[in-house]
């Protein structure tokens, strides 16, 4: 069958055809996506994203939708929404649980509003920033999907050598764990050509750790930064197998080749499985909600998204003096921890 005769019926099929068109015709990926979507009787790829997920959804691979709303004051307060659909090999909570996702780069402010949808509750300062955040989140998901690694959260067992003798020129570092083998993995993403290779070689010899640069461009800022992986060489961990997985990963997506859904309004986006009014309320970005006073508290400001509140009424001079005495006593206490002082 000729490639021109292929008529995909799912979004997965459109993406598969686009890859073939890109190779055979030597065109840009975005143009190949639009051409493949037209073969599925859609106007373009954005149109395909909206209608094809509803067709044959039972046979589609698991997916997740990530949404960020933005407002750009430098462009006359233009606003809009960016949504990225990510096809996955397994449901997202099989890749990482909800609490763990908070430690994943790009997911810090994303809230799960449905089993297939995450929304950022902070308004992004520009469209480019929103797209960049979503692409970062996608790259982090791909990293977990291909490597099986999960974010490391147990600070009490953090390798002491990394605190006592830090990796030279480390930047944008993240901590991961291979739960199957109980192995700590360090991922470092400094800007290209910054690390001192001789200093790192001395560090490896001194600490017994292996540190290696991957062929995959990374999660933080692909093509501007490089991705290095480090592991304790004395652990017996199969480091080469891990590097093979990372090096075999497909090219990361970047905002310059955006393929997500862009809308120039703040109309609340609902995922295909959202059906009820409660689903709609949950999907609303909290950064767009105007705060209001209650019986006992009032917001610090009435700007959209303000979540800081104070009690109704005024503390007064005597109240401020009493609060000051309490705060100073806590700060001077010999039994308080650093966090209390802060």
Task: Tokens for 123, please give them.
Answer: 């308004």
Please compute Rg for the chain using Cα positions.
24
Question: 273 pLDDT exceeds 60?
Answer: yes
Q: Hey, is 123 helix, strand or coil?
A: coil
Residue entry with tokens 């009787």: 41
Q: What is the pLDDT of residue 56?
A: 44
What is the predicted pLDDT for the residue at 59?
A: 46
Q: Which of 64-73, 136-145, 326-335 has the lowest mean pLDDT?
A: 326-335
Q: Averaged over 247-274, what is the pLDDT?
A: 92
pLDDT of residue 156: 77
Distance CA(10)–CA(61), nearest Å, equals 10
Cβ pair 52, 10 in contact under 8 A: yes
pLDDT at 280 over 50: yes
Quickly count: other Cβ atoms within 10 Å of residue 145's Cβ.
18
Q: How far is CA 247 from CA 184, 217, 229, 239, 251, in A?
A: 19, 9, 11, 12, 10
Q: What is the mean pLDDT of the chain?
A: 89
> Cα(26)–Cα(32) distance, rounded to whole angstroms?
9
Q: How far apart are CA 91 and CA 273, in angstroms?
A: 14
Mean of the pLDDT values across residues 304-315? Answer: 79
Whether the per-residue pLDDT at 10 is higher than 80: the answer is: no
Mean pLDDT calculated for residue range 44-68: 73
Structure tokens at 112: 């799960």
The pLDDT score that the predictor gives to residue 311 is 86
- Beta-strand runs (E) in the chain: 63-72, 78-87, 110-114, 117-120, 150-151, 174-178, 183-188, 209-213, 228-232, 261-263, 297-299, 309-311
* pLDDT score recorded for residue 53: 58
Decide which of 54 and 316 is more confident.
316
pTM of the model: 0.73
Element (DSSP H or E) covering residue 23: helix 11-25
* The pLDDT value given to residue 74: 87
- Quick one: tokens of 309? 């509140």
292: left (phi over 0), alpha (psi -120 to 50) or beta: beta
pLDDT in tens, 22-32: 888 889 888 88
Q: Where are the domains of the chain?
A: 3-54, 57-139+255-286, 150-247
| 11 contacts 85 by C-beta, under 8 angstroms | yes
CA distances from 74 to 79, 128, 134 (A): 11, 13, 21
pLDDT band at 147 (very low <50, low <70, confident <90, very high): very high
pLDDT tens digits for 84-143? 999 999 999 999 999 999 999 999 889 999 999 999 999 999 999 999 999 999 999 999
Q: What is the pLDDT of residues 193-218, one digit of tens each?
A: 899 999 999 999 999 999 999 999 99
More confident residue, 38 or 156: 38
If you write DSSP's letter for every residue of 173-225 in order, what string do you get?
Answer: -EEEEETTTTEEEEEE-PBTT-S-HHHHHHHHHHH-EEEEE-SS--SSSBTTB
């Amino acid at each position: 069958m000729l490639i021109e005769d292929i008529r995909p019926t799912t979004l997965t099929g459109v993406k598969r055809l686009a890859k073939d068109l890109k190779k055979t015709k030597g065109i840009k990926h975005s143009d190949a996506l639009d051409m493949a979507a037209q073969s599925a009787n859609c106007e373009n790829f954005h149109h395909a994203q909206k209608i094809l997920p509803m067709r044959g959804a039972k046979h589609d691979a698991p997916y997740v939708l990530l949404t960020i709303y933005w407002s750009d004051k430098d462009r006359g307060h233009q606003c809009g929404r960016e949504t990225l659909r990510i096809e996955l090999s397994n449901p997202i909570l099989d890749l990482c649980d909800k609490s763990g996702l908070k430690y994943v780069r790009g997911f810090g402010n994303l809230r799960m509003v449905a089993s297939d949808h995450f929304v950022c509750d902070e308004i992004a300062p520009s469209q480019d920033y929103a797209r960049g955040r979503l692409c970062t989140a996608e790259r982090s998901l791909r990293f977990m999907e291909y490597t099986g690694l999960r974010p490391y959260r147990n600070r009490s067992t953090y390798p002491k050598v990394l605190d006592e003798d830090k990796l030279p020129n480390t930047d944008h570092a993240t901590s991961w764990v291979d739960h199957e083998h109980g192995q700590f993995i360090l991922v470092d993403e400094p800007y290209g050509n910054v690390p001192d290779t001789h200093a790192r070689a001395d560090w490896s010899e001194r600490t017994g750790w292996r540190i290696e640069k991957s062929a995959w461009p990374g999660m933080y800022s692909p093509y501007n930064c490089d991705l290095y992986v480090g592991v304790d060489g004395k652990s017996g961990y199969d480091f080469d197998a891990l590097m093979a997985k990372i090096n075999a990963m497909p090219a990361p997506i970047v905002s310059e080749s955006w393929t997500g859904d862009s809308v120039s309004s703040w109309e609340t986006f609902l995922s295909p499985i959202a059906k009820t009014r409660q689903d709609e309320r949950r999907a609303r970005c909290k950064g767009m909600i105007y705060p209001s006073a209650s019986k006992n508290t009032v917001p610090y400001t009435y700007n959209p998204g303000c979540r800081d509140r104070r009690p109704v009424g005024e503390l007064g001079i005597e109240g401020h003096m009493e609060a000051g005495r309490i705060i100073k006593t806590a700060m001077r206490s010999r039994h308080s921890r650093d966090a209390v002082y802060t």
